[in-house]
Amino acid sequence: MQTEPTPTVIKTTKPYLEWGLTESEYDRFAEKLGRLPNYTEIGLASGMWSEHCAYKYSKPVLKTFWTKNDRVLMGPGEGAGVIAIGEGKAVVFKAESHNHPSAVEPYQGAATGVGGIIRDIFSIGAKPVAILDALAFGYPKDAHTKQLIDQVVAGIGDYGNAIGIPTVGGETRFAPTYQNNPLVNAMCVGVMDESAIQRGKAAGAGNALIYVGAKTGRDGINGASFASGDFSTAEDANRSAVQVGDPFMEKLLVDACLEVTRDHQAALVGMQDMGAAGLVSSTVEMAGKANSGMTLDLDLIPQREPNMTPFEIMLSESQERMMLCVRTGHEAEIIKVFKQYDLDAVVIGRVSFDHQYKLLQHGQVVCDVPVSLLTDDAPVYHQVGVKPARLAQPAADFEPGAIDLKKTLEAVLQDPNVADKTAIFRRYDAQVQTNTIVGPGGGAAVIRVRGTHRALALTTDSNGRYLALDPEIGGAITVAEAARNLVATGAEPLGITDCLNYGDPTKPEQFYSLAESAKGIVAATKALNTPVISGNVSLYNETDGEAIAPSPMIGMVGLIEDLTAIMSPSFKAAGESVYVIGQTQADFNGSLLQQMTQGEVSGRLRPLDLAQEQENQALVLQAIRQHLVSAAHDVSDGGLLTALAEMSFGRNIGAAVAAAWAPAWWFSESQGRFVVSVPAANIAAFEALAGPLATRLGRTQPGELTVQAAGQAMAANVATLKQLNKEALAWQLK
Amino acid sequence: MFKAEIYVSYKPSVLDPKAEVIKNTLARIGDDNVATVSVGKYFELTLTAPDQAAAEAQVDRICDAMLANVNTEAYHFTVKALEAAQ
Amino acid sequence: MFKAEIYVSYKPSVLDPKAEVIKNTLARIGDDNVATVSVGKYFELTLTAPDQAAAEAQVDRICDAMLANVNTEAYHFTVKALEAAQ
Amino acid sequence: MKAAVLSFPGSNCDDDLLHAVGTVLGQTAVKVSSQATDLTGYDVVLVPGGFSYGDYLRSGAIAKFAPVMTALKAFAAAGGYVLGICNGFQILTEAGLLPGTLQWNTSLQFICEPEPLLVANHQTAFSQAYAQDQIITLPIAHGEGNYYADPATLAQLEVNGQVVFRYLHNPNGSLNDIAGLTNEAGNVLGMMPHPERAAEALLGSVDGLGVFQSLIQATKGAAIHAN
Ligand SMILES: Nc1ncnc2c1ncn2[C@@H]1O[C@H](COP(=O)(O)OP(=O)(O)O)[C@@H](O)[C@H]1O
Ligand SMILES: [Mg+2]
């Protein structure tokens, strides 16, 4: 066994630099500690003071988020946030990024991302009922990207499928910016009784800390600081950090933990999952939240390998582990529950009378630092952003010029961003638990809430194209677009979770993007009454110094109170009137059309009118609730004609539409728009409700999509378009 | 014609849930004298190649690219020439 | 202590979807000189036993009952005594 | 009808079956642990989908060692009705209660989608509520659903009319498009598609109810005989 360097040797040889801690951070730690830290102590600091755990760069930005309204039961700060949905029930949700691990090891990286976010949900006491995955890749042109997509999708599917939580939705975006830095974000949604919310705290001197689940091994050691570091294609050493997911173990863990929160509430003080920075972060955070201290005996920790050092044990990110704080005298009662599921459950320490975080191994004290030193005393950096030159001097507007309606539509429908994603989501079990009313493939997913007469609508959205042009407007658009997805199903948006995927925050231009997009997100969440209840930060999405386009992912949950008013995007019958809600203008900068034609996006974005957005959404929701419309779809990638085509596919019912716009306008991505169809009997009522917000475009018809634009007409067979759209992605992934 | 025999197994320190489940089940059904279990994959390929070295180089490349996940798995193989009769 | 090395592979008459996919993929990426592919599993067990014969009998039983599906798979194994040092 | 729904570690469709049979159809449905050793008193035993023991060795290969399997074999041998769905089907083949094996889908991918099926034999305790050659659509959700049996077994299955459901667009490579089959005696059925996922109009389809309604009918008959 190697001997660890002494505190004085550490001071001079600075091993912590490799773990992502800077010299001044080391000095800060030593000064606050009042002596030189030993190897274990400074190792724990490197994990706890990483961006992943301490949010040292993003904290000032996250503070600006709007996190409360009258429905929020628990906001950010715990494993996941909680919102009341009525009838005594609450929805719990959170999203997490696993971009780095998935880039290194796509299958296990994606799988353990799903495993991790599920633990966040049941740590609150909620039954996980749905998973969504938001993915972003380069265009699938080369074998590497195809393999990457295959493995990420396999990893997500194999985990969710085995554990028995349906993957009901998500998104898959393609843009050159993600070629070397894919995004793998997963969201989990749970449902629980309002009264049973569980927090991750370790209070009450003498109470037991019980370690539950998989044994600790040398996998993923110090993954938190690894995820908070920038990424180099040459750096093969990163490969040692691979963790393997065990969905079977996690299934047992979910069932056992939910049994504890349901039947042993009196014994349980707190529960938390072991995520980033493993044992140290779960235990220290639990102590921190209760303002207590604790002593742990590392010899008691279930270990998979011999001779693990305290550094390795505490910073291992072995999966499928949970930490419980249990009242003295109830240890056996709780351990018995886990034994019934064949799970390891061991008392590894106690809450102490002081505020120290003390670790023992082989009878020696290997760490003795104040809890606050690892939590509240982590540095916070107030970066100043600098506007990138390309934003200060935006390029001229993109003019698509004279396009051919039909050829353009066919190309857009086959672009992988718009192409039918069945090739991806059919690898996910979307129906297990038998609550899925609307699964993947439409806009938002809809699941029923057992024990109520309600349903939840779920969606994820991100769009780096807009944020690349204007992070603030783009941030607001992302929130608005997620809300539109929900509203089109008939749901009232309740709140959001997010994954903030950005580049290196120490670079002023990257920090600018982060801070500006937060402004947009805050404005939109206030306008749409959707507070942020949880989220996750993934910075350092850079490869060889090149950052991705700022790509916040918004996961949004909405509520449907009337199960008879669930709307779908498919046209239902011929002869109904088709309306667009919202204004169509020449919005081509940042559009899919621009990415397809020019290979990248440029130009200026039109500011988002949030009041108008809110008004349009309220109208659509009203119209659905009053049963006036028979189909509803939001207009997003590829614009109005793309939305019309998608609405035609379900039942082979197209539409004949006309407007005096230039042909390209049918692909414009003006915000705030929906398409609805209205049966003849409801036209008067609908028009009275909508007033000037709705413009009649034409009527539905069997089997054909026909368009009359200024100077150009198009007629296309719906079945042919559908086939192009349906087969494109499977073909491109081959 | 050459024949390659390829073994793929988990690297040390990588969790192997399969082996865990097999070992626990064996213990449960009375085979509790089994001390360790490891699970790997075994492939056989036959291929034509100009010579042994070329065959080995190709098999190595195929293992690295496809048969093993080099992030979590290690592999080793042997390549033998088959009789000319083929 | 004994060590068993166990190979499980498909019976020749059974079409193995995994092997087919590997073979087709190899052909597609240019390794079209690979003539046959077979995919199997490889297990290593260590176990205590009074003698070699007892160890072999137990391993055979474990293979038959658990490690192989005898409908579609065949297995063979070797058992070696490990040094007494253990 | 009094149904036992088995639950192995890793089963994940056990609650869905309880819901379909108990809540939707109003029958008595009881979850029975894989540790149980007695199945007397039940009319039907349902073996649910999921990933028993992670399906880490082969699907169903570990579950067959669970204590309840001895009771299940006795129950089946005495003529009791046993329905295995998805992983349940895989467990029944591994345990030798049904012939053949479920291999990896030819695509080597997990597939979740609605699948049209032909009712190839409606004269069984599991399919009598359907019409002969009726086409129904049930969801599938599996990675290993590719049915294989040696040629002699396969021929025998066909001669005996043991194939109950066939895929119209074979999604996984199953021989003879087999989606579900019974044992020779006709009291044990395994099927890859999930009837319990097509049991409520709210969720899009009620095509699967016939499987359970058939069993309700069959067990009523049994009760009358017993009197
Ligand atoms: N990775 C994925 N996982 C699950 N479902 C997905 C995924 N990608 C796409 N989908 C499904 O396909 C639908 C269409 O996706 P997308 O083309 O991004 O459209 P939209 O943005 O209009 O929802 C999504 O609503 C979702 O249901
Ligand atoms: Mg979208």
Residues A434-464 pLDDT 10s: 999 999 998 899 999 999 999 999 999 999 9
CA D43, D48, D54, D59 dihedral sign is: positive
Kindly tell me the number of DSSP H helices and DSSP E strands found in chain C.
2, 3
Provide the 3-class DSSP secondary structure of residue A150.
helix
Cα–Cα distance measured from residue D209 to residue D197, given in angstroms and rounded to the nearest whole number = 9
- Report which of D20, D48, D43, D55 is spatially closest to residue D33, judged by C-alpha positions: D48
Residue A490 CA to residue A294 CA, distance in Å, equals: 49
Contacts of A6 (CB under 8 A, 6+ apart): A38
pLDDT number for residue D34: 96
Distance from CA of A425 to the nearest CA of D (A): 8
Q: How many CB atoms lie within 10 A of CB A2?
A: 6
What Cα–Cα distance (Å) separates residue A205 from each residue in A291, A328, A707?
Answer: 11, 9, 73
Contact criterion met (CB below 8 Å) for A302 and A279: no
Q: Are strands A183-193 and D81-85 parallel, antiparallel or unpaired?
A: unpaired
User: What's residue A222's pLDDT?
Assistant: 72
Establish whether residue A424 lines the binding site of ligand 1, counting it when its CB lies within 6 angstroms of any ligand atom.
yes
Considering CB atoms only, which of C9, C29, C47 is closest to B34? Answer: C47
Query: A318 with B15: CB under 8 angstroms?
Result: yes
**Sign of the C-alpha dihedral computed for residues A487, A490, A496 and A499 taken in this order:** negative
So what's the pLDDT on residue A227? 55
Count: domains in chain D:
1
Give me the helix-helix angle, A23-33 and A39-48, nearest 10°. 120
Predicted pLDDT of residue A241: 52
Give the single-character DSSP code of A642. H
Interface contact flag, B35 C48, Cβ < 8 Å: yes
Give the C-alpha separation, A525 to A143, whole Å.
Answer: 40
Q: How far is the CA of A429 from the centre of ligand 1 (A)?
A: 15
* CA proximity to A228, closest of A504, A496, A11, A38: A504
User: Given an 8 Å threshold on Cβ–Cβ distance, is C35 in contact with B47?
Assistant: yes
Cα gap A228→A46, rounded to integer Å: 11
Token pair recorded at residue A655: 């539409």
* A417, two tokens: 């961003």
Contacts of A564 in chain D (CB under 8 A): none
Mutation probe of ligand 1 site: the residue of A153, A158, A417, A421 with most atoms within 8 A of C-beta:
A421
**What does the block give as tokens for A16?**
């912590």
In A614-693 the beta strands, taken as DSSP E runs, fall at: 631-634, 653-658, 674-678
Let me know: does B71 contact A237? Beta carbons within 8 Å. no
Q: How far apart are CA D99 and CA D93, in angstroms?
A: 6
Per-residue pLDDT of chain B (86 residues; tens, 9 = 90+): 999 999 999 988 888 999 999 999 999 999 999 999 999 999 999 999 999 999 999 999 999 988 998 888 999 999 999 875 44
Say if ligand 1 is within 6 A of residue A171 CB.
Answer: yes
Q: What pLDDT is recorded for position B12? A: 82
Tell me the three state secondary structure of residue A680: helix
**CA–CA distance from A319 to each of A494, D198, D199 (Å)?**
31, 35, 36
Name the neighbours of B, counting chains with at least 3 Cβ pairs within 8 A: A, C, D
Residue nearest atom 20 in ligand 1 by C-alpha distance: A443
Q: What part of B 25-84 touches D (C-beta under 8 Å)?
A: 25, 28-29, 39
Interface check B21 vs D, CB under 8 A: yes
Q: Tell which residue, D81, D100, D79, D73, has the closest CA to residue D89.
A: D100
* Residue among A172, A417, A481 whose CB has most ligand 1 atoms within 8 A, to mutate: A172
Q: Where does the pLDDT of residue A240 fall: very low under 50, low under 70, confident under 90, or very high at 90 and above?
A: very low
* Closest Cβ opposite residue D104 in set C17, C67, C71: C17
Among candidate residues A47, A46, A77, A48, the one with its CA nearest the CA of residue A63: A77
Question: What integer pLDDT is reported at residue D224 of this predicted model?
Answer: 40
- Whether residue A219 and residue B14 make contact (CB cut-off 8 A), yes or no, is yes
What is the nearest CA distance from C84 to chain D, expressed in angstroms? Answer: 31
* Residue A79: pLDDT band with limits 50, 70, 90: confident
CATH number where D86 lies: 3.40.50.880
Q: How far apart are CA A85 and CA A560, in angstroms?
A: 9
Amino acid at the residue D54 = G
Q: Closest ligand 1 atom, CA of A485? A: 23
Q: Is there a contact between C16 and D103 if contact means CB atoms under 8 Å apart?
A: yes
Dmax (CA) of chain A: 86
Average confidence (pLDDT) over A517-543? 96
Secondary structure of A228-287 in HEC code, one letter for each residue: CCCECCCCHHHHHHCCCCCHHHHHHHHHHHHHHHHHCCCCEEEEEECCCCHHHHHHHHHH
Kindly report the nearest CA distance between residue B63 and chain C, in angstroms. 11
Bridge partners, residue D119, by sequence: D165
Domains of chain A: 567-734 (3.90.650.10)
Query: Which of C5, C42, C60, C73 to substitute to test the interface with B, most B CBs within 10 Å?
Result: C42
Residue A24 burial class via C-beta count within 10 angstroms: exposed 0-12, middle 13-18, buried 19 and up: exposed
Domains annotated on chain C, with CATH: 2-81 (3.30.1280.10)
Q: Do B22 and D56 touch (CB under 8 A)?
A: yes
Q: What pLDDT is attached to residue A2?
A: 57
Please give the structure tokens belonging to residue A704. 């054909």
Say yes or no: C74 contacts chain B, CB-CB below 8 A. Answer: no
Task: Provide the CA A537 distance to its chain's centre, in angstroms.
Answer: 10
Q: Quick check: A494 and A530 in contact, CB under 8 A?
A: yes
Confidence at residue C13, expressed as pLDDT on a 0 to 100 scale: 86
Query: What mean pLDDT is reported for chain A?
Result: 94
Q: What angle do CA A186, A422, D16 make, to 5 degrees?
A: 70
How much is the pLDDT for A393?
A: 87
A135 CA to middle of ligand 1, Å? Answer: 10
- Regarding an ipTM greater than 0.85, the answer is yes
A3 DSSP assignment: P
Rounded CA gap, A319 and B16, in Å?
Answer: 12
The span from the CA of A335 to the CA of A244, in Å, is 25
* DSSP conformation letters of A509-534: HHHHHHHHHHHHHHHHHHHTT--EEE
- Cα distances from A695 to residues A369, A475, A619, A728, in angstroms, run 66, 28, 13, 32
- CA atoms of D218 and D43, how far apart (whole Å): 9
pLDDT at residue A421 in the model = 97
User: Cα(D192)–Cα(D179) distance, rounded to whole angstroms?
Assistant: 6
Q: What's at A278, amino acid-wise?
A: G
Q: For residue A677, give the 3-state DSSP assignment.
A: strand
Q: Tell me how far apart the alpha carbons of residues B60 and B4 are, in angstroms, rounded to a whole number.
A: 10
- The owner of tokens 């059309």 is A593
Task: Work out the minimum CA distance from B11 to partner chain A, whole angstroms.
Answer: 10
DSSP letter assigned to residue A491? P
Number of DSSP helices (H) and strands (E) in chain B, helices first: 2, 3
CA distance D146 to chain C (A): 9
Least Cα distance to D110 among D43, D41, D59 occurs for D59
User: Which of B14, B15, B28, B72 should we substitute to test contact with A (largest number of A Cβ atoms within 10 Å)?
Assistant: B15
Cβ under 8 Å to A: B residues 52-71? 69-71
Confidence of residue A390 (pLDDT cuts 50, 70, 90): confident
pLDDT digits (tens, 9 = 90+) for A181-228: 999 999 999 999 999 999 999 999 999 999 999 999 988 787 666 555
The two most distant CA atoms of chain C are separated, in Å, by 52
In the block, tokens 């305790």 appear at D125
What is the rounded CA–CA span in Å between residue D5 and residue A451?
21
Residue D124, both tokens = 């069984």
Structure tokens at D170: 């074979």
Active site residues of A: 52, 98
Q: Which parts of chain D have pLDDT scores under 50?
A: 223-227
Helix and strand numbers (H, E) in chain A are: 25, 28
Residues of D annotated catalytic, as ranges: 86, 194, 196
Query: What is the distance between the alpha carbons of residues A214 and A216, in angstroms, rounded to a whole number?
Result: 7
Q: Is the pLDDT of residue A633 over 70?
A: yes
Which residues from B are below 8 Å from D53, CB to CB? 21, 25
Note whether A520 and A474 are within 8 A (CB): yes
Q: In DSSP terms, which residues pair with A446 in a beta bridge?
A: A438, A457
Measure the CA–CA gap between B29 and D70, rounded to whole angstroms: 13
| Backbone CA torsion sign across A620, A624, A628, A631 | positive
Beta carbons of B72 and A242 less than 8 Å apart: yes
Best mutation site among B25, B29, B37 for testing chain D: the one with the most D CBs within 10 Å? Answer: B25
Confidence band of A413 (pLDDT split at 50, 70, 90): very high
How far is it, in rounded angstroms, from Cα A464 to Cα A444? Answer: 20
pLDDT confidence tier of residue A711, bands split at 50, 70 and 90: very high
CA dihedral A296, A297, A299, A305 (to 10 degrees): 10
Residue C37 to residue B47: CA distance in whole angstroms: 9
Asked if residue A184 lies in contact with residue A474, where contact means CB atoms within 8 angstroms, the answer is no
**CA A345 to CA A284: how far, in whole Å?**
19
The parent domain of residue D110 ranges over 2-226
Cβ partners under 8 Å of residue C50, min gap 6: none
Instruction: Cite the beta strand spans of chain B per DSSP E.
Output: 2-10, 34-47, 73-81
> Which residues of chain D make contact with A427, given a CB cutoff of 8 A?
109-112
C-alpha distances out from residue A163 to A99, A249, C6, Å: 22, 9, 30
Chain D: list its partners (3+ Cβ pairs within 8 Å). A, B, C
